[in-house]
Amino acid sequence: MGAPDVDVTASTEWWRGLNQAKATTRPAGEAEALIAEHLRWYPKADVALLARAYAVADHLHREQKRKSGEPFIIHPLAVATILAELGLDTATLVAALLHDTVEDTPFSLGHLAAEFGTEVGVMVDGVTKVDRSMYGSAAAGETFRKMVVAARDDLRVLLIKLADRVHNLRTLQFQPPHKRVKIAKGTRELLVPLAERLGVYKLKRELEDLCFEYLETEEFEHTRERVARVRDETRYETDSVATALRDSLASFRVKADVDVRPRHLSSVFHSGSPLVDLGPSATVRYLVVVRGGEQNAYLALGAVHGRWQPIPAKFRDFIASPKYNLYKALHTTVVTESGRRVQIIICDGRAQQVSEYGIIAEIHERTGRDGRLVSGRTTDPEWLTRLLRWQEGASAEELLEGVRTDLADSITVLTVNGQILTLPEGSTPVDVAYALDNEIGDRFSAATVNGRLALPSAQVREGDTVQIITKAEPGPDRAWLESARTGKARVAIGAWYRTRAREKAEGDGRRAVAEYMGGDRRLIEAETSGDLIGAARRAGYVTLEDFYVAMGYGQVTPEDVLVPSPEEKPEEE
């Protein structure tokens, strides 16, 4: 939806209504639930500011409707409410209420920042789409780039985007079928992995299930029916395991809370277990939240393994080796007396909060009772820092393709110097080389994996030790593009070849001009005097290099440009 064609300065009524909205201090009835939820987290929050933001958004969107026919204001209010339920700070909720105003109304970013502050302005700008008329088919990629760059200043931009997509998916039934598929597919490819990287599993699970529903509708319905039946039929068995687990912890004098956590439908279906064979262990997990520090998690693990036989291959220690998204817990699978496999997750209270909220848990810790951030931002996550480094040289298409890969499941590998690298699954030694440095990648010659020579296209695996062997002169192989997995490697290889092609075109174009002008000496004279740059600029080229490149690519010929301009022609006698 584009901004209406409104002459703001001439619209007295529009300004009068906006000024009345800006003067609001009491919440409208529609916003009371949002404010009540925010006050539950932050009792001293600025209620008047939230009320004013809602009133301004309501006024700006008053003539707009959603596909469902409902007033548009329902959407930003829902987005803000989702974030309020996660415990986000006041400024984030204000930005959520106003996140569509700059894109869809005459309210400019300057107006918004002046009224609600730079902090809110940065977040709203970050989630505002770029102008499709300017970027055309590249708009989606450039919008994503804009959001990622904005996240460098404020990670909350990404949280607003996730909440925005959650509500859009909740109401996706009002879109035509082709748009449902497009939106759900884009969400699964980009935003679900983004939610996982941020550790916000509470949103990730809902996004996954909503995408599952729209992309695999029949399988979704079968899974929902089967899971409901299994849970109902095995409720007694599930409760018995929970009781036995509590007894085992008590016998080890471990103080902990035990909760039975239903697995979400997408997770159940994509786990690989046939639906007809589903047992209770495939539909639930047991969460043990110990009191005290992380050391008590290991005591709880001892209690669990003392009661039931563990399956060694299923044990993962994410406390000793935390995941990239701050997640820290022990995962173990045991076999109960009945022969059932049961998955148990053990963590402390803070880790449990992180497991649900991820980066939001850190925001909670930095937010005062008044709903304001009281300390500086945290360091950018490693994956975001890596993405920010290589996205600048990527086209919109390369960016989206690279992000789809880089945000997928990750592995960690080691260099012979002990450096730890996080890479997407399926990465190759070439990806390792470019992860170390673009120059190392460009000079890649060979590699060893765990002491053995490996092909450039070989896949490295979790825990592998990789040594990169380089050559003196740079020269990546174009064939590497077929197996390179990371966006950074693919963009760097493509950039190297584009640079070489441009250099060749520049040389070819300069030689063509020299030949047309009668030799290198005449060319140098024309370059020195400025005549040639004048001709190039009249043809629309800012620099001589651009002019020569266009000449080399055959986009223009010397005859097209190197002729006297009308004012330079001698007058006829």
CA 118 – CA 123 distance, rounded (Å) = 9
Going from the C-alpha of 324 to that of each of 177, 327, 363, 422, 571, the distances in angstroms are 36, 7, 17, 8, 75
CA 18 – CA 313 distance, rounded (Å) = 62
Tokens 């490693």 identify what position?
382
Q: By three-state DSSP, how is residue 421 classified?
A: strand
Catalytic residue ranges: 103-104
**Residue 226: is it exposed, middle or buried by C-beta count within 10 angstroms (0-12/13-18/19+)?**
buried
User: Could you tell me if 296 and 290 are in contact, meaning their C-beta atoms sit under 8 angstroms apart?
Assistant: yes
Tokens 């009772």 identify what position?
369
Q: What is the DSSP string of 198-261?
A: HT-HHHHHHHHHHHHHHHSHHHHHHHHHHHHHHHHHTHHHHHHHHHHHHHHHHHTT--EEEEEE
User: Could you tell me if 127 and 161 are in contact, meaning their C-beta atoms sit under 8 angstroms apart?
Assistant: yes
State how beta strands 420-424 and 410-415 pair: antiparallel
Phi/psi of residue 25, nearest 5 degrees:
-125, -20
User: Could you tell me if 172 and 214 are in contact, meaning their C-beta atoms sit under 8 angstroms apart?
Assistant: yes
299: how many CB neighbours lie within 10 A of its CB? 17
**SS3 of 101-165:** HHHHCCCCHHHHHHHHCHHHHHHHHHHCCCCHHHHHHHHHHHHHHHHHHHHHHCCHHHHHHHHHH
